[in-house]
Structure 1
């Protein structure tokens, strides 16, 4: 029965029936990604019965959202012509302060993050007058809280909310070329395809379509975006957004690997009864090492203009968040208004967290620290990243 649930043609037909349209746009690789994802969910993901339902729902949502976005563009050609000007894009390894930095910048009323509820439910286009009261907000929040009931402690490891910013991987899921799937599910073949063989440029084109769709609602603000996955594809990011302002966060990769492995394990427990931190760590290590090497190469290639990338060190940010934010604003050529800083301080006081956490241990990864350290030495030397004591 599981094989039938993940037949791509069946999923495509179901989504078309829900959306009332069958125009998915150009087949620029999304169907190949969907086929690979479905194959992996059947052969490798070790889904439990709940996991089957969650995965079917994730795919159906991605397909349906794609259909709605294409239909809206077809009926409103001005959407496709609208610019996405100078987005601020936070990149960097996971667990390096990207989320809290994203959340702080989102307190600036001149900036606009894509919020979880509108990314998950972009149709109909959200409207300014109901942007904070749309019924989809409560629906999305209820779904998030249900996840916490299924896997207690999940939100402690990975805080989520309907009205906070959502990562770009949630948008590129509609291109089926997205790390969101290979983090949430065990998909060894799919994630290696993402790392080594997939053409990510169509996913970034769809990413722009998604932003154009959301901004057609009339809610003002310069986009502020975030995803560690951009680190793996800086070339593709620049191809689509040549004027992007990039903020790269930095931290000792070894503690990143053990932290993201623990997070991945907790996420996968929603859908599978068979997950281990060690297996997640093997994937995380390969992804982190590959991403850091690629990012160093792209940044040293001269593709970025002077001042287009701002570096933020995790240790500095944790020691004095607002000194870091002020320096970031200066580097971006922006004015940090007192009222905006006050909003940021209030948010941080309400969401202190531990921004990096101590709920993981290197010993759980099964990796040899000296070997991994040598593989990331180039990155650490390039950006002056000191070794941290392993947790």
Structure 2
């Protein structure tokens, strides 16, 4: 058990598994040491949760080793242009997943499926163009969640080959604010909040370059990304992706927050034997309130360099294809008949709540109007932008 929290032992185990020595820039080890310290001191994972924690840390490190080795052998990776993605953001539970997956079916897009987010570096025995082992890895995750955690499936479906949020790539930096979400140590959040935000996004860009190179290069295509965690990160996001087209979705926080808390409770079923829902509510306000306010301030400051389309959650429900068409137009992409057909077909095949609907309330998570207003300063900022 002690070795699991010893930095040198953790790094050595990753090197042994990968058969590689060079992590490249080792600045990430400061954040890794802090993560190990806070998890050891502050969290009581269940046995499966602890095994998942160990496996995730090992996966982040082994992929880093393989990435560095891959770029050494193929330095042209760093010439790949990933500057112009379509990025879907907004508070959680605002329709961001639906819009990412819808936009990902358009011709000329590069989707980011779960299998890429879990292992951006090829496995050692992988043949170019045949990531079967990485897909199988992601399918195992998918099947385990389907069998063991139907509550999570009802809140957020994940499949190996369907577009997934890009926060998983940012986690490879270790030094990334959303590390707190699945390692809910208040001390870790306080430490991460004071860290520079740009390095995690620079790491993500490198991984997207590597993934794009593996698929034959840009070829006139662009990534479709999505992450609620981009809230509060507009400065770093727009620096790393200066030609991005951003879709910002909005929804009343009195609906967003209890739905999000229910999702977190479902995630924690895999990590903890028990976790107080009131604590989930408190930590939700502590994480998202400051980031929401930071996001609003950054948006005002950076508005001249941002290419943003705003839409409400209701607009996504009423006319997601129309919202997608507006985003594509803003990105300079012509809406062809082929594109419209692809969008409408995906919409028809992906009904909301097809895996069931969760039941929850603000009260069970200790939330009320006053607490939300105190943390966020508003119930719905949509009127500022839409």
- Whether TM exceeds 0.5 here: the answer is yes
Query: Of the candidates 56, 81, 84, which is equivalent to residue 83 of structure 1?
Result: 81
Distance 1:12 1:206, change over 3 A: same
Counterpart-to-counterpart distance in 1, 2:93 and 2:235: 22
- What do the CA deviations read for 1:357-389 (whole angstroms, capped 9, x no partner)? 653211212123124235434573563589xxx
**TM-align CA RMSD:** 2.4
In the superposition, relative to structure 1, how do residues 5 and 67 fare at CA in structure 2: closer, same or farther (>3 Å)? Answer: same
Aligned to 1:182: 180
Provide closer, same or farther for how the CA distance between residues 63 and 153 of structure 1 changes in structure 2, counting only shifts above 3 A.
same
Report how far residue 282 of structure 1 moved.
1.2
SS in 2 for 1:160: coil
Instruction: Please name the residue that 1:317 is paired with.
Output: 316
Verify the 8 A CA contact 2:250 2:381 in the aligned structure 1: no
Residue 212 of structure 1 is matched in structure 2 by 209
- The residue aligned with 2:9 is 10
- Hey, what's the Cα distance between the residues in 2 that align with 1:342 and 1:211? 28
**Structure 2: gaps (5+ residues):** none
TM superposition shift of 1:92: 1.0
Residues 94-121 of structure 1 deviation map (CA, whole Å, 9 limit, x = unaligned): 1101000000001112011222112212
Where does residue 343 of structure 2 map in the other structure?
344
Structure 1 length normalisation: TM-score?
Answer: 0.90
Structure 1 residue ranges (4+ consecutive) displaced by more than 4 angstroms after TM superposition: 125-129, 355-358
Conserved in 2, the CA contact under 8 Å of 1:251 and 1:385? no
Other structure's SS at 1:353 match: coil
Q: Which residue pairs with 1:331 in the alignment? A: 330
**Structure 1 residues 289 and 128: CA distance shift in structure 2, 3 A:** same
Given that 2:245 and 2:308 are in contact with CA atoms closer than 8 Å, whether structure 1 keeps it comes out as yes
Shift of 1:10: 1.1
In structure 2, C-alpha distance between the alignment counterparts of 1:201 and 1:276, rounded to whole Å: 33
Question: 1:267 aligns to what SS in structure 2?
Answer: helix
Give 2:301's aligned residue.
301
Secondary structure, aligned partner of 2:246? strand
Written as runs of structure 1 = structure 2, the 5 A alignment for 1:223-302 is 223-302=223-302
How many residues were matched structurally? 380
Q: What residue in structure 2 maps to residue 372 of structure 1?
A: 372
CA distance in 2, matches of 1:170, 1:129: 22
Unmatched 5+ residue regions in structure 1? 387-391
Q: 1:264 to 1:382 in 2, by over 3 A?
A: closer
Structure 1's 127 and 315: CA in aligned 2 closer, same or farther, altered over 3 A? Answer: farther
Q: Distance in 1 between matches of 2:149 and 2:5?
A: 24
> Conserved in 2, the CA contact under 8 Å of 1:157 and 1:263?
yes
Structure 2: distance between partners of 1:349 and 1:80: 39
Q: Report the Cα distance in structure 1 between the residues aligned to 2:269 and 2:30, rounded to whole angstroms.
A: 27
Residues 67-91 of structure 1, C-alpha deviations (whole Å, 9 max, x = no match): 1111111111111122213111111
Correspondence for 1:389:
none
Q: Is the 8 A contact 1:185 1:268 kept in 2?
A: no
Distance 1:352 1:177 in 2: 36
